[in-house]
Structure 1
C-alpha cells in the first residue's frame, strides 16, 4: 500500500509537482476566494491529453475534468478527489485521501477506490484523523450531490461556488 499521494501547485512558478516529483508546466492558474483552478497538458499518459482541476479546500475536494484520447473516453462528467487541501501563497498542497467520486450529471454519483482507502487505513499509511476527515468529506459530498439530483454545479451554487473552465 502506497502512502497518500501529495501534490504541490506553485502558482508563481506555473508548475504542478506530483507525488513522484514530476514537475508539469501549468497553462493556467486562477485563484478565487473559494479555490484554485489549474489547467495543464497530460504528459506520458496515452489515455488522456488534458486536465482541468479546481481545488476546493472548504469542501475537501479536487474537481477534475479530463480530456480522454479516442478509445479511452470514460462515462463521467466530473472526477472528484477526496483530499486535504492547504491553500498557500504561492504554493498549494493537496493530499489525496484515496476515496474518489465519479459524477454523471443528472444520472448518478459513485464512490470508487474504497478498497484503497480501507487498505491504507488497515496498514496504517493513512493517519486516523485524515482517514476520518476523508470519510466525512466523501459522505457529505455524496449526500449533497444526491440532494441536488447528481448535479455538481447545482450543489456548488448553494455553497457560493461557481466553477468556470477554459
Structure 2
C-alpha cells in the first residue's frame, strides 16, 4: 500500500461472525483513535493452509465512542442489480451489517466490548 499515512494494516478473519476486522496502523503524526473496518462477507478455510474470503461490499467503520458507519450499500445494490448477488444473499448481507452496527451501538460504541460479548478477543501488534 503506497500511502504516506499508513505504516501497515492488520486483519483478523472471523468466520463465525462473517467478518474481517481490519485496523490501519498510521505513521507518527497521523495518529488518531483506533479505527476498525469490519467487512461483511464469507470467510473460512477452503483447504489446508488456504482460506477463502468473499466480500459482500458492506463495511462498518467504527471508532470508540462514535456511532458506527455502514458504507458500501450502493456497491452491494449494484452487484445485486448486475446479477452477482441474488436477493436472498443481498438481504442477508444487509441484515448481518445492520446487526453489527446495532451491536456496536448497544455496547457504547465500543467494538472491543461488542466483540467480547461475541466471545472474541483480538490482539494487534
TM-score by length of 2: 0.85
What is the CA–CA distance in structure 1 between the aligned matches of 2:100 and 2:83, rounded to whole Å? 25
Give RMSD over aligned pairs.
Answer: 2.2
Q: 1:126 aligns with which of 81, 85, 90?
A: 85
Alignment-derived partner of residue 106 in structure 1: 65
The number of equivalent residue pairs is 124
Alignment-derived partner of residue 12 in structure 1: none
Superimposed CA distance per residue, residues 102-126 of structure 1 (whole angstroms, 9 cap, x where no aligned partner): 0011121000111111111112122
| Change beyond 3 A, Cα 1:157–1:125 | same
What is the CA–CA distance in structure 2 between the aligned matches of 1:127 and 1:86, rounded to whole Å? 21
Residue segments in structure 1 that go unaligned for 5+ positions in a row:
1-42
What is the CA–CA distance in structure 2 between the aligned matches of 1:121 and 1:56, rounded to whole Å? 24
**Cα pair 1:76 1:102 within 8 Å, conserved:** no
Q: 1:94 aligns with which of 25, 46, 53?
A: 53
Q: Match of 1:141, SS?
A: helix
More helix by share: 2
Alignment-derived partner of residue 65 in structure 1: 23
What is the CA–CA distance in structure 1 between the aligned matches of 2:4 and 2:71, rounded to whole Å? 22
